Structures are given as C-alpha cells and as structure tokens.
Structure 1
Amino acid sequence: MTDQRAPETPTDPTARLDELRTRTASAFAGIRTDLEALVRIPSVSNAAFEQAHVRSSADAVADLLRGAGLDEVDVLTVTTADGRTGAPAVVARRPAPAGAPTVLLYAHHDVQPPGDAAAWQTDPFEPTERDGRLFGRGAADDKAGVVAHVGALRVLGDELGVGVTVFVEGEEEIGSPTFADFLHAHRDRLAADVIVVADSTNWSVGVPGLTTSLRGLVDCTVEVEVLTHAVHSGMYGGPVLDAVTLLARLVATLHDDAGDVAVAGLVHAPDPAVELDEEQLRADAGVLGGVRLAGTGPITARLWTRPAISVIGFDAPAVATASNTITPRAAAKLSMRIAPGQDPVAAMAALRAHLEEHAPFGARVTVTDGEKGRPFLAPADTPGMRAARRAFGEAWGTEPVDIGVGGSIPFIADLLEVYPDAQILVTGVEDPDSRAHGANESVHLGELEKVVLAEALLLDHLARGAS
C-alpha cells in the first residue's frame, strides 16, 4: 500500500463532532441531488428488464466516487465457471495511511422492479419529496446507502485517516448470484480490516440501530399431484380431491394452531433484549383490523430469532379462466427464514422431510430445492462495533439499539468466508416507514443526513483507534 499520512485534525471530541456536523449539513443538498439522479436510473437487475440501465447506474456511481476523491475507480464484472457474467459492480479505492486500517464500504446500486404502477402515488423513477421523505424506487434500498458512502467521503475529504475501498454491487436484488466469484476474483483488492454493509434499517426515525443478527434463508417449490390429467368436477368430484385443496392442506401443516412454525428440527436463537410494540408493528406492516398476529413469545423474537415460513408463490388455475375440472397438480413456492445458528442444509432437510411426511391423502409430493443463505450473528464487542456505537450515538444524540432483521443478507456469509478476520458492521439507511421493495418506497431525508454524519464519524474514530 502507498505510505500516506493523514493530515492533522482537531483532537477535541466535541469540536470535531461540531465540525463534521457542520460539514455534513453544508454538503447535504448536493448529496440529495446525487440521490435523486440515481433514483431516476431504473437499474432493475431482474433479467426481464432492460439491463443497459444497470450499466448506466454503475457508471453514475463510479463518477460520484471519483468526485469524492477516490482515484482508483473501476466498473467490473466477473464471469463464472459456467459462463455466466455478473452485473456491473463498482470498486473504488484509496490506500491506507501508514499504520491505519482499511475499511470496505458496501452498498448496491440495483433495485427491485417497481411493481404495480397504480399502487404508487408518484412515478417510481421520479424522486418526489413529501413530508420530509424522498419517494422513489431505490431511494432507500439501496441508493441511499451509496450516497451515504459518497457523502461521508466528501465530508472527511483530505482528512480521511483510513484506507477505504468502496464496493457497490449491481445484482443484490436478484440474490447476488456471482458475489462469491467476484470476491475470489478480486480478493486482494477488496481485503479490509472492517466491512460496513449499508443495507439495513434503523430502529425508528430518531433512534439508530446496529444490526447484530440476520435470519438465513431457505426456499423451495413443493408440487402436489393427484391425477394424470384433469377430469370433470361433476363426474369425479367427491371421492377425488383436487390438487389445490390438497396443497392447501399440506401448507396448513407448516404452522400449529397458534401460528408457530411446526417443522421439527429447526433452531430458535435466544430472545432479543428489546421488544416492539404490537400496535407499532401492525401500523408498520399495514395489518388489517381484526387480523391476529401469528405465533407466541416476544414479537422481536418472532421477527428476528425464530423461523418463519411464507407462501410467496402459487401455481393453480386462474379464477378468470377456470373450468369445471378437478385440477391434477398445483405448486407453491415456500420461503423459510431460519434463525441465527441454523445450518441452511439441515433446515432444508427438515422442511423437505415435513412436506413429504405430511402428504395429504397419499398425494404425490415433489420438493425442489431453491436458494439457501446462511444467517448472521455479529460479535457484540469489537473495536469496530465500539467505534460504531460511539459514532451513531453522537450523530443521533441517542444510543443505538442492537436490532435483528428478519430478512437475510446471504452474501455476508461469503464475506466472512473470504475474510474471516474482518469485523463486519451492518448499518441502516432505512426506517420502518421506508417500504423497501414495496410501492411508495422512501427514505427520511433527516435520517439520511444523520447516516452520512455517523459514517464520517465512524471512519474518523477508526482512524484514531477509538474504543
């Protein structure tokens, strides 16, 4: 690495905090403008959409990083052994001063499809401010993460006292299929002492969060067959139950009467130390009045540290084109979130065994494995975590909450496999109202400014060996 020495900066903590806060406020209008420009690029990585936009997004991110003072900036792809070429990612570097750590800053520039246009109040790719929030696809997930990194680098400028590598992925929203290959191909270039993944959430508006646990993921498709071909429902209905009914009966066995997952052999992690108010959860999720919450125990445990199973797809005759026949086969896609400490292979085996053992009325059940992702549990007391707690507390004026996330970020396991000694910090740009992946996605602009300040403070504390 090039031997660079960080410039002298004020050592009084209060004066330094005030200085960086002032710089962040001054820079934020430009940061917001950059976010709006990124949101206007429809960088949907799903193959059904125009992929030229993903390349345009990567080029735009590369320009932002060059403007933030990083000279080594490249847009890169990797080709896997089976010939698949990944989406364009951006890698930018600035070597560490002598004796200083290197920090890898991760985000992703691809976004989810917009979904039903009628569900959006405004054009999903035209950023629009309402009530202090910026709406648009990717405004929160995760183009806000991109500009948080860019903003922190601008705020610190030549006073950046650590080495920085920025890695902005282009295929996170389709499961990061070439992520592991990319890490291995650029192993030395991406090596770091601390890795900051800016793709999570905060506890609430005004209260920061550090994500210390993530559930893993197992999914599969289960098909139920009862006939070799469709038959007349009047002629054969009664002794022969249709595949849709039998699939529904099979899916119903996945939960007990209280709504807890009923698959044997799954792990539960310890209950979290914090609890979420039921009314707040109902409001955040949009639960209809009269609908009871499923499961037992603390709500945060049900969300973060216990398994959950959802039906996320269902193949059966459509209502509009239905005929009076007994359906011979039906299929469902199941998504199972697994608790920290659970092995995904063992979880898949348990789910498969349950489905096969509960075949209703002797129907033929076929289970096809899908994606697997390992859960994550962060060490609670590392130098990086202590620096993050201090930075977040200073930026928000209140201590961060250790939170879990019920969703999964499977590539974190890939990072730990390639860089086992790195400290991983999962930070948030979202809040419970962000509606990532849904219609009317948004980021709270006041919170985004705090995220930029917090990251600048984190890098500053790591440079000074804060503990």
Structure 2
Amino acid sequence: MSDLKNRVHDLLPGLLGDLEDLVRIQSVSADPERLAEVEKSAQKTAQLLAAEGVGAEIVRAYDGAPPAVIGERKGPEGAATVLLYAHHDVQPENDPADWDSAPFEPVIRGDRMYGRGAADDKAGIAVHVGALRALGDDLPVTVRFFIEGEEEVASATLPELLRQYSDRLAADVIVIADSGNWDIGAPALTTSLRGLVRVDVEVRTLTHAVHSGMWGGVVPDAIMTLTKLLATLWAEDGSPAVAGLVSGPAADVEYPEERLRAESGAAPGTSWIGAGPVVERLWTRPAITVTGFDAPKVAGASNTLVPVARARVTIRLAPGDTSANGIARLQDHLERHVPFGAQLTTTVVDKGEPTVLRTTGVTYDLARSALAEAWDGTAPVDMGIGGSIPFIAEFQEMFPAASILVTGVEDPDTRAHGPNEGLHLPEFERAVLAEALLLQRLGAA
C-alpha cells in the first residue's frame, strides 16, 4: 500500500500534464464546428493508452459517427477482465466571460485545476491511465477500455457500439469513472441514478400575431396560456403534480442545511421545494424543471399578442420508473390541463432510463476496501445521484453478469457543466490510488 501510494504521488505531475493536454482540446460534441476537436481528443486518448501498453483503436458505429476509443492490455492467463469507461467529449463552455480563466486553458489555483472537462470526464481518462502507470508491469488483470466520444449528447450510437464490439468489451467488472464523491475527504460509490425525459411543449392560440390593445382582454395570448399550463406541473410546495410518477426511499444520509445551501449555490433567502428527506428529493423522487423557453425577448418586444410559445420540460425520473411511463404521464397531464382550448403539441426530445445497481458481492467488498484505504480509512458512502447516466442501463442489458462500479472524481464544488469547472487535485490523487488498489485486489481475488 505505501509503495503504491508513493508511486502514485511521484507520477502525479506527469499525469496532470497529460490531463492539461486533454483539457486544451475543445472536444465539444454538441458543436458541429468542433467535430475535428472531438477527433483530436480521441486521437490523444488513444496515444495515452498506447503509451501504457494498451492496444488502442478509434472506432465508430458508422461512418461519420462520433469517435470512441477501445483497447485491451492483457493480464495473466485466467485473470479477471475489467472494463474501464470514461468519455472524452465535453459540454459547451457557454459564455467565456462567466469563467475566471479561459475555459480551455487549464490553470491550477490552490487545490484545483480549472478548465472545461478537467473533471467531467477527462479526469476519468487520467484516473485510468494513472492506475496503469502506477501498476507498471505488474498488471494483475486484463484491462479493457471504452472511452466514449458522445456522452454529452446522449450517447446515441452507444447501443450499436456495444453490439458491434461486445466481444472486445465484455468483462467481469465494469468501472465507470463518471460520477463523484460524497464530499472532499469522503469517497462514494454511486448506487442509483435518476432517469431523464425531455419534452418540448408548444401551445398556439392564434394563427398570427395581433395588436394587444385591439384584442387584449378577449383573446388569450400564447405566453399566458403556456405559463398557466406549466404552473400546473407543480403542487403549491413545488413538488411534482404529475400523477403516476414513481418515488422511493433513499439511503439514510444526512445532508445538513448549511451544506445544501453552500453547495447548491442558492441565493440568500431562497427556500426549498418539496417535502421529506433532502436526499430522497435529490435521488429517489422525480423532479420537473423548465430548462428552456421560446418567446420574444424583452428588448424590442412589441405590444402584440404572441400566437405561439414553446418550453422544454425536463423530468428526472426516480429509480424504479421508466421513460415510457414518464412521457405518457406528462403528456396526459398536459392534455388535461391545457387552458382556453389552445392547440397543444408535445415532442419528445430524448430519454434515458433510471438505474439501480447491485451493490453486494466480492467486487463491491473489494471496491469499498480500496476506497477506504485510499481515503485514509474513511469508508465510502453508498450514494444516489440526482442526475442521469442513461447508458449504464445499456451496459446492464448487454453484460448482465458483470459487476458495475460507478465511481468518479467530482466533489460538491466541481461545477461540472457550468463555468469554472474544477478538479480537486488531492481527491484526484486518491482516486488514482483507489483504482490501482482495486485492480490489484481483483487480480488477487
């Protein structure tokens, strides 16, 4: 343990240099103008793996599809096979003015490296590379890699990739490095995740815009109609009012008020929505959010009754629910509550299933012991996640006998997907050590 810990520490400067090189690549999979950067990111990832003795290859589901990197480094004859997952694409940086430093120029301030993808999820790639480097020639298991290039745009071709390359990705254990820890100094295993449905909701009340002075007070405008409809999605306390969505219990974990306020970024005076344990509201109950709204801007708005308005409604589905049920329940609710006889159109944008993981057996015992040792004796928390990683359900379906571990390097102040995304460097070092220990112990087992 001490030798491996020292080796990880000695390797850290070079490993962070490799991570900085990855962060500088603007692999925004949602931006068609930066597809060449996504390709460049895949090539860099393949080079990093090849340098550690991995037979790495860039693959895609079909011509023009986003690039993934797969590969293998064999361990001893008869050893367990471990598949290591991460993704090399990143979220858009949005307005660079919201960042304290350039989004794609990594910078270390204090204990953090800042930059888009520094944590989500190029740090996941670096953790895998670091574990291999730390183990050197003494790799006790066969390691396979799947580094995806489209996770941030819903992994549309992942099922086809799993089908085409199932023989090269099959494993006894799958480690998905795309989640987080309970707190700085407190590791976690993610054991449940909410699912996701996104639906565009449009209402039309007029065939064309008309003068608000001439017709206001009689003819309903689309913005008023849509806002009245959207308001029916929540009860008075802000909890979802759509009937038939699944809820469930969560682990008995305390989430103090002061921590919740600090980590959520809630403005002073903001009160919480819903009722019941905080972790249930975050992990095992549904949540409904309006994430987009199409209507005229305030600047330049005319005195006009707007004929059509549209909003994007997102539901986070609790474990045990299904996207099909969520879509059906939402559409039924909207149809029953649309006011003034307005024309209603709903369009499903995308969907992903919630996930519950099996958390017993030797693999989880070994993972918990590795995490506890890497975090100086602090036992990991079995943690739910309010967000969604829909592809985990695809892995469960394709490899039903595999043990799936969901780990990661994020902490409550990582700010993934937002400005000033940052990786906590001491936590990153512990994550590399934990994965190296896990591979050692899987080999011994």
Runs of 4+ residues deviating >4 angstroms:
none
- Which deviates the most, 356-365 or 432-441? 356-365
Q: 1:427 aligns with which of 407, 412, 432?
A: 407
Paired with 1:325 and 1:387, the residues of 2 have a C-alpha distance of 65
Paired with 1:189 and 1:368, the residues of 2 have a C-alpha distance of 37
Paired with 1:49 and 1:389, the residues of 2 have a C-alpha distance of 43
Aligned to 1:205: 184
Q: How does 1:89-168 map to 2 (within 5 A)?
A: 89-168=68-147
The alpha-carbon deviation at position 346 of structure 1 amounts to 1.1
Number of residue pairs matched? 444
Paired with 1:370 and 1:284, the residues of 2 have a C-alpha distance of 29
Paired with 1:270 and 1:138, the residues of 2 have a C-alpha distance of 33
RMSD of the TM alignment (CA)?
A: 1.0
Aligned to 1:450: 430
Alignment of 1:74 onto 2:62: no
The alpha-carbon deviation at position 366 of structure 1 amounts to 1.3
Residues 75 and 139, structure 2, Cα contact 8 Å, conserved in 1: no
Q: How does 1:230-269 map to 2 (within 5 A)?
A: 230-269=209-248
The alpha-carbon deviation at position 56 of structure 1 amounts to 0.9
Paired with 2:37 and 2:326, the residues of 1 have a C-alpha distance of 37
Q: How does 1:174-213 map to 2 (within 5 A)?
A: 174-213=153-192
Paired with 1:18 and 1:427, the residues of 2 have a C-alpha distance of 22
Aligned to 1:415: 395
**C-alpha distance after superposition, 1:242-272 (max 9, x if no partner):** 1111111111111101111110001002132
Alignment of 1:23 onto 2:3: no
**C-alpha distance after superposition, 1:286-332 (max 9, x if no partner):** 11111111110111111100000111111111111211110111000
Aligned to 1:438: 418
Alignment of 1:337 onto 2:316: yes
Q: Residue 433 of structure 1 aligns to a residue in which SS?
A: coil
- Which deviates the most, 59-68 or 94-103? 94-103
TM-score by length of 2: 0.98
Alignment of 1:359 onto 2:325: no
Match for 1:143: what amino acid? K
Aligned to 2:263: 284
**C-alpha distance after superposition, 1:226-254 (max 9, x if no partner):** 11111100000011221111111111111
Match for 2:123: what amino acid? A
The alpha-carbon deviation at position 434 of structure 1 amounts to 0.5
Q: 1:43 aligns with which of 27, 33, 36?
A: 27
Aligned to 1:62: 46
Paired with 2:408 and 2:334, the residues of 1 have a C-alpha distance of 36
Paired with 1:224 and 1:30, the residues of 2 have a C-alpha distance of 55
Residues 77 and 86, structure 1, Cα contact 8 Å, conserved in 2: yes
Q: Residue 260 of structure 1 aligns to a residue in which SS?
A: coil
Paired with 1:321 and 1:221, the residues of 2 have a C-alpha distance of 25
The alpha-carbon deviation at position 57 of structure 1 amounts to 0.8
Residues 28 and 34, structure 2, Cα contact 8 Å, conserved in 1: yes
Aligned to 2:358: 379
Residues 179 and 410, structure 2, Cα contact 8 Å, conserved in 1: yes
Q: What residue ranges of structure 2 are gaps of 5+ in the alignment?
A: none
Match for 1:139: what amino acid? A
TM-score by length of 1: 0.94
